[in-house]
Amino acid sequence: MTAKTAWFKGKDYITTEEWTEDQIETLLAVSADLKRKFRGRIPHRYLPDLTIFLMFFDKSTRTRNSFEAGITQLGGHAHFLTAEAMQISHGESAKDTGSILSRYGHAIAIRHDLIPGEGNRYMREVARWADVPVINMQCDVDHPCQTLADLMTIREKLGRNLRGRKVAVSWAYAPSYAKPLSVPQGLIMLLPRFGLDVVLAHPPEYRLMPETMAAARENASRAGVKFEVCDTMDDAFRDADVVIPKSWGCLDTMGANPQESLRIATQYRHWICDAEMMKRGKPEALYMHPLPADRGNEVTDEVIDGPNSVVYDEAENRLHTCKAVMALTMAGQEIPYETE
């Protein structure tokens, strides 16, 4: 089969909300095919001599390396850019940055995730002026390559028919830094669209953006599934098929005073995913985390290194989903792929 590129070519990938279920299904199918080709050492140089610019306003391990390795395997090249190394640090506008980089290469990917109200807005301003696809490597609103990899992993483990399956997306304690809200927000918006019941749990101070909550409710209603909110990890985990406990910062303090998020978090140290907490889910419940996990705080070693953990499969799938996004949006030809 081939993925028709008339729609995909040149398309921005900023949130999953802007892509239809059918388009996301194509992304997943191409991701799976690229994974088979990668493991089989089958060449798939769909982007020969193309360049993508990777702009990072935050640190990264999986995101940077999945994009850099992915574009190389597709036959192209990545430029790793930090704000400090660019004229952005001297105030250059998103318009000028987007306009120039899109004349030098074939896509722009951006990670700008720590300040609510800034990252997504900046990406959209770059996209407004760029003549090439803009790809979200994580912003304040969504982490669309990660959540796509999460959905891919859940399907690999539980099958395509996810009706009646429950996912618990829960806040967890971490003292390291105030982490972005975009992972839980992306999960609650995307997963209901593909048949999953989702329960969100967090302490009162750690609410998510109202617009993402509204989208989650609307998507669940349209798909005929459940989206619920509770205030304990225990309730969220009860009878869950998948648990995704991770930390995030306070929406009200993330930008101006991230340390306040960490101070408030200390009263919720008991929000940890340990063996006792896992017992509240189904015996075979999957433990997932986008990584890096704050071991000993968000999760115990017993759980993350245990038989129900699929974090390394999940992390590997980041490579394949990133490649699918780049291949479909950057290629000038149709992308061949096989379906299972």
Q: In whole angstroms, how large is the CA radius of gyration of the chain?
A: 19
Please tell me whether residues 77 and 164 are part of one structural domain: no
Residues 202 and 280 in one domain: yes
Query: How much of the chain, in percent, has pLDDT values that exceed 90?
Result: 86
Query: Mean pLDDT over residues 287-311, rounded?
Result: 97
Q: What is the mean pLDDT of the chain?
A: 94
Q: Contact at 8 Å (CB) between 135 and 110? A: yes
pLDDT in tens, 249-278: 999 888 788 899 899 999 999 999 999 999
**Residues 189 and 16 sit within 8 Å (Cβ to Cβ):** yes
Based on the domain organization, do 136 and 74 belong to the same domain?
yes
Judgement on whether residues 66 and 153 belong to the same structural domain of the protein: no
My answer on whether 40 and 179 are in the same domain is no
Based on the fold, state whether residues 136 and 154 are members of the same structural domain. Answer: no
Do 202 and 95 share a structural domain? no
| Between 317 and 257, the higher pLDDT residue | 317
Q: Are residues 189 and 252 in the same domain?
A: yes
Band (197; pLDDT cuts 50, 70, 90): very high
Judged against a pLDDT cut of 70, whether residue 192 lies above it is answered with yes
Are 91 and 205 contained in the same domain?
A: no
DSSP secondary-structure letter at 42? -
Q: Are residues 98 and 200 in the same domain?
A: no
Is the pLDDT score of 16 beyond 60? Answer: yes
**Parent domain of 287:** 144-314
**Whether 302 and 331 share a structural domain:** no
Whether the predicted pLDDT of 105 surpasses 80: yes
DSSP strand pairing (107-112 vs 286-287):
unpaired
Structure tokens at 173: 């304690």
Q: With bands split at pLDDT 50, 70 and 90, how would you rate the model's confidence at 1?
A: low
Give the integer Cα–Cα distance in Å for 242 and 97. 41
Least confident of 55-59, 67-71, 220-224, 309-313: 55-59
Enter the DSSP assignment of 200.
E
